[in-house]
Structure 1
């Protein structure tokens, strides 16, 4: 869909920006050459010679910044926006662009190539989807998740029903906290909410017997009597635990599945609040949960940029009063586990950014090693560093 393409494009842009900015000067130049973007860094001698002109032509730059920042020789056709805005030094038909602007030029080039490729892919989808072998794969691609599935209940039975209200306040992600609140207030949840919340509770350690007791006690406080619950709702709960039907042991939903699943309609409470809530309503929720005003603004900015999982990470930091969570958040049950570990003193709070999430350490370990290569790395290391990026810049 158009929405999924926009979301995918935004994630790829963020990943590309991060990887490009993490490259050393040497590797950055090799990358530009590798993808046929002939932007050459000027020498220190030339930069010093033109320092006054570079400073005067680049808004916000001081002489100190000019000395610190690399400048690139760029053809005017690639720097036309900077030229129009009078934000770049021009000499002999070339623009001399600082690093802070060269990444924007590279990113725009990348965006154009990727957008075109996505549009072509979208046009070819009908013929591809007609192949019954590929259709299931394509339909589930946006929900894919390769991290821990929290199906193995190491803590099964260790959480009592009496603890859930307190845990919801201290350690539940916002999506599960709002489901718990709605259940307590309305004594009922629709199917989407029961699935999302029920599997989450299963993942944090509720046994089948506890789950049946928990849901029954709450539902009979509303409009469902015990007999109706036993004949209808109890079956679904046993089904989620692999005791009915095909005996499939269902796993809790990942962040990606929740974000990309059908949005909640009126009367529903499932979904991701950062993805599916109106910004004003989300702001009210955050205020209700005592998130400080500056923190709310940070979260809303992340939401505006479609960074829903980063918004949830920021919510974790603000509600746990830590500077940086030190992991990449991909699953509501991961949120709960990390919260409990932190509150029990079992995890050291990291003050520096961790570039790898728990569920991504194995798959991206080699990539991380390559991204830290020094300028003296071999050509093989350089090729690995640039792997996967060059095709978007290939000639049509």
Structure 2
């Protein structure tokens, strides 16, 4: 595809010069042709990176050593730039020995540049998407800026017209007591060695608001280590304006039939395993479902299961979400037909009506009718962002779609501790719904820190089974049917081998579910 104009791989000299810089504000769009395949790959890998940034920001103190180590590892794995001086090192090393395998630092910076602009197109469409994108990009930018050497930080400020002058030694000496008392991060011993910048106070409102800087005559005196706050405010403002401008151009972009489906899917994209591939088909008996729902189902599926048992019916949104989840954990087509028929006929649906109105849709879900597509269980992003529940519905994400007080009551009913409820509600308040679910997993499984990043209900189930059963395959046992959630743990199951994909293909299935 083409962004603007026709250019070679690294564009004009201006763009090549841009990639020589270790950091940028993404003010200049890419000026080269790329293939649709590269477009999709870059977008998915940056999305993986930003989701990692989000998870780390909640799980660890930002800029702590553990946070930085894990983020650097992810940047390496996805081939994004992470070494500020890497271009100079690459140039020196290339003259001494043959080129190494893998992309060069310039290629990594090119990928970083292009992928940022692709996700701008996908995440400018709604206020919620813009807010999420800005927050993750700001956190990523903070990490990269803090990794720069002092001289590189000054060069970056000057190149981006943030030319804040350091105060003189004499002025620093005269203001020493004030600087020490107002800039608590700087001890009296270090003031002589620390650079201070004289900045218009309106450019440092965050620092002024938290009383971290000395104010005099309309200027804030900022220690070098806090200058990142000024840079981040500027970056956030520029990116927010850029997303608003990008949103205006969407009609023209959506006229390209190649790009529209890709961009629409990216904002809802799930980039993990495909749980439509069933490794444990038939290894779960119907009698086990009640017990499993209390021990290994995520809250969204636990809610659907309880509603089905109580009402003997689910509307089509709930049947799709829950039915595909059960398919993903190992129910065969025959088991699924038996399960739904048995439950619906306990209510107002007789066997004949079930066969006419519902059986076809279940066979279609398993790829035995219609286009014979093997439909994929819903990811967390799909549950959160599409088809919100209305009155009488039980599908959706409880952390996203439940009233806070009702969610709190449900958590308390499931024996989550008061401190755990508070932690979950804080994550919900910050709109970190998947992280709230992961915290629910940790609290209900008595683990302090999970080794995975939760992004799929079926992943929740498999991780629970591995934890409770020692990583062994599910052993089919004829448990006594029961409605209450018990504490006896079934055997675990290993995760299904699966391929990565950009978006799920369940939309066509909607037409085959009939509300009665």
TM-score, normalised by the number of residues in structure 1? 0.76
Cα distance, 1:11 vs. partner? 4.3
Q: Distance in 2 between matches of 1:65 and 1:214?
A: 73
Does residue 292 of structure 2 align to residue 167 of structure 1?
A: yes
Question: Cα 1:204–1:51, aligned 2, differ >3 Å: closer, same or farther?
Answer: farther
Q: 1:333 maps to what in 2? A: 458
Cα distance, 1:5 vs. partner? 3.0
Q: 2:264 maps to what in 1? A: 139
Contact preservation (8 Å) 1:253, 1:331: yes
Q: Distance in 2 between matches of 1:212 and 1:11?
A: 42
Q: Distance in 2 between matches of 1:143 and 1:215?
A: 29
Question: Cα 1:27–1:162, aligned 2, differ >3 Å: closer, same or farther?
Answer: farther
Q: Distance in 2 between matches of 1:5 and 1:79?
A: 25
Contact preservation (8 Å) 1:193, 1:268: yes
Residues 22-61 of structure 1: matches in 2 within 5 Å? Answer: 25-26=147-148, 30=152, 33-34=155-156, 36=160, 37=162, 52-58=177-183
Q: 2:309 maps to what in 1? A: 184
Cα distance, 1:137 vs. partner? 2.9
Residues 88-237 of structure 1: matches in 2 within 5 Å? Answer: 88-90=213-215, 95-97=220-222, 102-237=227-362
Q: 2:126 maps to what in 1? A: 4
Higher helix share: 1
Cα distance, 1:126 vs. partner? 2.5
1:206-237 per-position Cα deviation (integer Å, ceiling 9, x unaligned): 11111111111111111111111111211111
Q: Distance in 2 between matches of 1:98 and 1:199?
A: 55
Q: 1:267 maps to what in 2? A: 392
TM-score, normalised by the number of residues in structure 2? 0.59
1:101-153 per-position Cα deviation (integer Å, ceiling 9, x unaligned): 54443332222122112211222223333444433333333222221111211
Unmatched tracts of structure 2, length 5 or more: 1-122, 473-495, 502-516
Q: Distance in 1 between matches of 2:338 and 2:128?
A: 43
Q: Distance in 2 between matches of 1:65 and 1:240?
A: 70
Contact preservation (8 Å) 2:145, 2:228: no
Cα distance, 1:86 vs. partner? 4.7
- Helix, strand or coil at the partner of 1:302: helix
- Helix, strand or coil at the partner of 2:234: helix
1:142-167 per-position Cα deviation (integer Å, ceiling 9, x unaligned): 22222111121111111111111111
- Helix, strand or coil at the partner of 1:221: coil
Q: Distance in 2 between matches of 1:100 and 1:143?
A: 37
Unmatched tracts of structure 1, length 5 or more: 348-357, 364-396
Question: Cα 1:11–1:132, aligned 2, differ >3 Å: closer, same or farther?
Answer: closer
Contact preservation (8 Å) 1:299, 1:311: yes
Contact preservation (8 Å) 1:9, 1:114: no
Q: Distance in 1 between matches of 2:377 and 2:190?
A: 52
Cα distance, 1:195 vs. partner? 0.5
Contact preservation (8 Å) 1:39, 1:72: no
Question: Cα 1:104–1:170, aligned 2, differ >3 Å: closer, same or farther?
Answer: farther
Question: Cα 1:290–1:62, aligned 2, differ >3 Å: closer, same or farther?
Answer: farther
Cα distance, 1:299 vs. partner? 1.1
1:71-120 per-position Cα deviation (integer Å, ceiling 9, x unaligned): 76352252245347653035798644358854443332222122112211
Does residue 199 of structure 2 align to residue 75 of structure 1?
A: yes
Q: 1:16 maps to what in 2? A: 138
- Helix, strand or coil at the partner of 1:153: coil
1:234-261 per-position Cα deviation (integer Å, ceiling 9, x unaligned): 1111001000000000010111111110
1:273-327 per-position Cα deviation (integer Å, ceiling 9, x unaligned): 1111111111111111111111111111111111111111111111111111122
The alignment covers a number of residue pairs equal to 346
- Helix, strand or coil at the partner of 1:73: strand
- Helix, strand or coil at the partner of 2:444: helix
Q: Distance in 2 between matches of 1:143 and 1:80?
A: 34
Larger Rg: 2
Q: Distance in 2 between matches of 1:297 and 1:41?
A: 44
Cα distance, 1:202 vs. partner? 0.7
State which of 290, 310, 323 in structure 1 corresponds to 2:415: 290
Contact preservation (8 Å) 1:29, 1:41: no
RMSD: 3.6
Q: Distance in 2 between matches of 1:40 and 1:170?
A: 60
Contact preservation (8 Å) 1:38, 1:74: no
Contact preservation (8 Å) 2:207, 2:229: no
Residues 297-308 of structure 1: matches in 2 within 5 Å? Answer: 297-308=422-433
Contact preservation (8 Å) 1:283, 1:296: yes
Q: Distance in 1 between matches of 2:204 and 2:360?
A: 64
Residues 326-365 of structure 1: matches in 2 within 5 Å? Answer: 326-346=451-471
